[in-house]
Chains A and B, each alone.
Chain A
Amino acid sequence: MSSVLFWIIAFVAIGSAFIVVLNKNLFYSAIALVFTFMGVAGLYVFLWADFMAGVQVMIYVGGILVLILFGIMLTNRISSVNISHSNYHQGIGAVIVIGIFFILGWMILETPWLRIVEQEPTQTVGKIGRLLMTEYLLPFEVASVLLLAALIGAAMLSRKAN
């Protein structure tokens, strides 16, 4: 049962990713991206990462995707109905990317992965929080500074020069 659910979720994520990449309409792509993110979040759940799944939904779907939509809106006049865009050197791109994919897949299937079986943790948030406050305190703080810098930088960049 959960196996079937897994494959369904995986299929949704991959299928919507295809739409994101191949659809001519940018707006549809953005919508398809929502489903991809959601699908990936579902896969996180299968990986016992419920907190990360929550974060994924909150930040990607609630934050980044909204930003992207804003970007689409701001850069394409609403009046122009065709918010589509053209692609280029799709042929060679496809060949290269398929090549990369085959290399990756071959590597994944060939590698004898070490596997350590572990009990499903009772809770994840507490452990992550402890790690962030102890071992990864400095990166955590640096990340906050990064976010602040990104905030200021984005505001500075998008401001109209006067």
Chain B
Amino acid sequence: MNIFIEYSLFIYFLPLLAFLVNIFFGKRLPRHGDWVSIGAVLITLALSMAMFAGMLFSYDPDFRVESSFTWISLGDFVIQLGFLVDNITITMLLVVALISSMSHIFSIKYMEGDPLYSRYYAYLSLFTFSMNGIVLSNNLMLLYMSWELVGLSSCLLIGFWFAKKSAADAGMKAFMTNRVGDIGFFIGIMLLFTAIGSVSYSDIFSGVANGKITGTLLTFAGVGLFFGAMGKSSQFPLHIWLPDAMEGPTPVSALMHAATMVAAGVFMMVRLFPIISPDALVFVAYIGGFTALFASTIAITQNDIKKVLAYSTVSQLGYMIMSVGTGAYVAAFFHLVTHAMFKANLFYGSGSVIHAMHHALHKKHDHETDPQDMRNMGGFKEKMPITYWSMLVSTFAIAGVPFFSGFLSKDAILAGSLSFANHHPEHFLLPVFGFGAALLTAFYMFRLIYMTFHNEPQMPELIEEIHESPKEMTFPLVLLATLSFFIFYTLPYFNPFSDHGWFTYVIEAKTSLVHGAPSAHAIAEGIHHSHLPAMIISLLVAGLGILLAWQMYLKRKLSAERYANKFSTLHRLSLNKFYVDELYERFIYTPVLKLAGKIAFLDWDLYDKYVVDGFGKFTEWFADLIGKMDYDGLDQGIVDGTGRSANRLGDILRNLQTGQLQNYILFALFGVILIVIIQTMV
């Protein structure tokens, strides 16, 4: 067996083992079993790094190992499960393992003393296991199973503090919203399976290439698959669960709802890009672009530090989706990787801040103040230098400042959208979405930094209680902040303005297999030509956003309140997240509930009461009747009667049984006579 497959097996099953150990024995183990999960994930990390090193050494864009076994075999119906290890897999594995290990380490202090500590680690391991399944799978079936497992572990972890109603509800909401997307996903899988007769990627790819499924059907299949990505990657209109998911512990938010799980949708789209038809891709691009802008407009007015980051995540995911839609799917994957680093870092930073706030408030016996509200912060810069600097680095990265990773990936995405609009002028909105979102991203991220760390403290009584977090928490911050510099993605080159490097070499864009789609080369050419204008515009908008934030929240030259009042309608819309939840409430939940109520009325009060109960009553009456017949007639008459007649007959016949031998002889002789008489008669 190939060494990569062997490593993959370990990577896949170790977290599962840790999950099983922790869920059953965690409480009885020393330290409540956290070392089991941490050990498992660290081994995973080491193996991923080994695989990554192997990939870099071979430096082969076409590297690809596949291994599968037959899972179901019913005559012609065969489903094979297996692993596919190529460069995308290895890179993604490393990202998952890295962020997961960071979360595991960060949680040691963050979750310290929680009564369900071991269960928390068990869930983390379960998540790692299922996420690796998504990454490693070479077929849609294992992908779908892992997909659902990820959804489950997400639901469990969001609702981890289930005693809090909002957390439990958020977990449920995440699961339900994902289900909506997953229905589309499943339809997509089934369309492909029906047309091609296999669920493995390679079969599906060759099936599409051979034209086994074409035209509208393929578009529908692509859109169906994208629905899964929409649910998991929290794209409009299924984005509502992600902000609520911030009810979960912050390391979980960093791991799942920023870096890995929500990226699963993007990952899936990247994997399946060659079979998505151009029509479906347009749909994908618009959904992604709109989400990017839409979410960032919400983020600018949020005051909850994690909510800002949540909407930022939605917006960035929109970027990636849009990038897939415009054909620049390598850029999407690139952004996925860089975003995973700096967004996870931002979440850890926010976790660190919240942790500090929480402890400070706890010391002051203040249980009213919200530790996540940025309006209660300010001036933390000196108190939490490590957190501040690492978060600042990540903010530069996400805002698209040169020399940081985000600049490169975002630039590639924007170039892709610009090139797409050049080729298809009717889609001019896509770059507008992109650049608009870039502007807003820079703005709200610096707003976050200024409100949290700069200025004078909003709650001066707290400030002396704010302390830097322990090493377990700052270590991931420093590490991930370091990984936000451009250098790690462009090696062996050192040009900070070009994404040219190992990443773009190793992960090579493949031409779509769908007939009539533009070739990868053409797309790359277009991106190359749009590179410079895109970079200039993105630098401009990022600078403008930072400047605005600087003026408004640091220098206070521009009053945020005044603008808020001036555009009060827009402000209110943004603050209230465009009332999406309320709209859902009004137009979906309430009507559905009402309909359900009506149906329930029909069912309970009419059907059950009259038909079902009536039937029951009739049956009861009928049963009584039958019972009477049975007991009084059958039992008493026939059954008992048989017994009684047998008894009576026995009473009569026992008189014959005299015990007198001579009587018997008499009877026997009588019988002889009878026989002879009958014999003569006949």
Instruction: Determine chain A's interface SS by DSSP, over half rule.
Output: helix
A100 to B676, CA, bound (A): 10
Q: Which residue of A lies closest to B674 (CB)?
A: A99
Which of chain A's residues 72-114 have a Cβ closer than 8 Å to chain B? 89, 92-93, 96-97, 99-100, 103
Closest CB in chain A relative to B662 CB, distance in Å: 8
Q: Are A96 and B670 in contact (CB under 8 A)?
A: yes
Contact across chains for B669 and A96 when beta carbons are under 8 A apart: yes
Complex alpha-carbon distance, A93 and B670, angstroms: 10
Name the B residues within 8 Å of A103 (CB-CB). Answer: 672-673, 676
- In the complex, chain A residues whose CB is within 8 Å of the CB of B666: 89, 92-93, 96
In the complex the two chains form, what is the Cα distance from A97 to B668 in whole Å? 12
Instruction: List chain A positions with a Cβ less than 8 A from chain B.
Output: 89, 92-93, 96-97, 99-100, 103
Q: Secondary structure at chain B's binding surface: helix, strand, loop or mixed?
A: helix
Q: Which residues of B contact A92 (CB under 8 A)?
A: 666
B667 nearest in chain A by CB position: A96
Q: How many residues of B contact A (CB 8 A)?
A: 6
CA distance A97 to B665 in the complex (A): 11
Instruction: Please give, as numbers and ranges, the residues of chain B lying within 8 Å of A89 by CB-CB distance.
Output: 666
Chain A residue contacts of B670, Cβ below 8 A? 96
List 10 A-B pairs, minimum CB-CB distance, nearest first: A99-B673, A96-B669, A103-B676, A96-B670, A100-B669, A96-B666, A93-B666, A100-B673, A92-B666, A103-B673
- In the complex, the chain B residue whose C-beta lies closest to that of A100 is B669
Closest Cβ of chain B to A147, distance in Å, is 26
Cβ contacts B649-661/A at 8 Å (1 or 0 each): 0000000000000
Query: Closest A-chain residue to B668, C-beta based?
Result: A96
Closest residue of B by beta carbon distance from A97: B669
Residue numbers in B under 8 Å from A100 (CB-CB):
669, 672-673
**What chain A residues lie within 8 Å of B676 (beta carbons)?**
103
Min C-beta distance of A3 to chain B, whole Å: 32
Write out the residue numbers on chain B whose beta carbons fall within 8 Å of the beta carbon of A97. 669
Question: How far does the alpha carbon of A147 sit from the alpha carbon of B673 in the complex, in Å?
Answer: 35
> Which residues on the B side are within 8 Å of A99 (C-beta)?
669, 673
Min CB gap B679→A, angstroms: 10
Q: Which residue of B lies closest to A99 (CB)?
A: B673
Q: Closest B-chain residue to A107, C-beta based?
A: B676
B673 contact set on A, CB distance < 8 A:
96, 99-100, 103
In the complex the two chains form, what is the Cα distance from A99 to B666 in whole Å?
Answer: 12
Residues of B within 8 A of A96 (CB): 666, 669-670, 673
9 contacts between A and B (CB under 8 A): A89-B666, A93-B666, A96-B666, A96-B669, A96-B670, A99-B669, A99-B673, A100-B669, A103-B673
Chain B residue, CB-CB nearest to A104: B676
**In whole angstroms, what is the CA distance A35 to B669 when docked?**
28
**Shortest distance in angstroms between A141's beta carbon and chain B's nearest beta carbon?**
32
- Shortest CB-to-CB span from A85 to chain B, Å, is 13
Most buried by B among A92, A93, A96, A103: A96
Provide the bound-state CA to CA distance between A92 and B669, in Å: 11
Report B175-212 CB contacts with A as 1/0, cut-off 8 Å.
00000000000000000000000000000000000000
**A105 nearest CB across to chain B (Å):** 12
A8 to chain B, nearest CB (A): 31
Q: What's the least CB distance linking A110 to chain B, in Å?
A: 10
Nearest Cβ on chain A to B364's Cβ, whole angstroms: 111
What CA separation (Å) do A97 and B672 show in the bound complex?
11
Distance (whole angstroms) from the CB of B560 to the closest CB of chain A: 127
Known: A92-B666, A97-B669, A100-B673. 9 other contacts (CB 8 A): A89-B666, A93-B666, A96-B666, A99-B669, A99-B673, A100-B672, A103-B672, A103-B673, A103-B676
Q: How many angstroms between the C-alpha atoms of A89 and B669 in the bound complex? A: 14
A103 to B666, CA, bound (A): 16
- Give the docked Cα–Cα distance between A97 and B676 (Å): 14
Q: How close is A80's CB to chain B, nearest CB, in angstroms?
A: 24
Smallest beta-carbon distance A56→chain B, Å:
26
Smallest beta-carbon distance A88→chain B, Å? 8
